[in-house]
Amino acid sequence: MIQWHGTTIIGVKKGDKTVIAGDGQVSMGNTVMKPNARKVRRIGEGGSVIAGFAGATADAFTLFERLERKLEQHRGQLMRAAVELAKDWRTDKYLRNLEALMIVADKDSLLVLTGNGDVLEPEGGEHSQITAIGSGGNYALAAARAIDSYEGDAEEIARKAMAVAADICVFTNDRVTVETI
Catalytic residue ranges: 7
Helix/strand/coil for 41: strand
Asked if residue 8 belongs to a known ligand binding site, the reply is no
Asked if residue 21 belongs to a known ligand binding site, the reply is no
Helix/strand/coil for 105: strand
Edge-first strand order for the sheet with 119-120 is 40-43, 49-55, 100-105, 110-113, 119-120
Please give the torsion angle defined by the CA atoms of residues 23, 115, 17 and 145, in that order, rounded to the nearest 10 degrees.
-70
Give which of 94, 85, 93, 95 is closest to 118, Cα–Cα: 85
CA–CA distances in Å: residue 9 to residues 22, 90, 174: 4, 22, 12
Asked if residue 169 belongs to a known ligand binding site, the reply is yes
* Annotation: binding site: 166, 169, 172
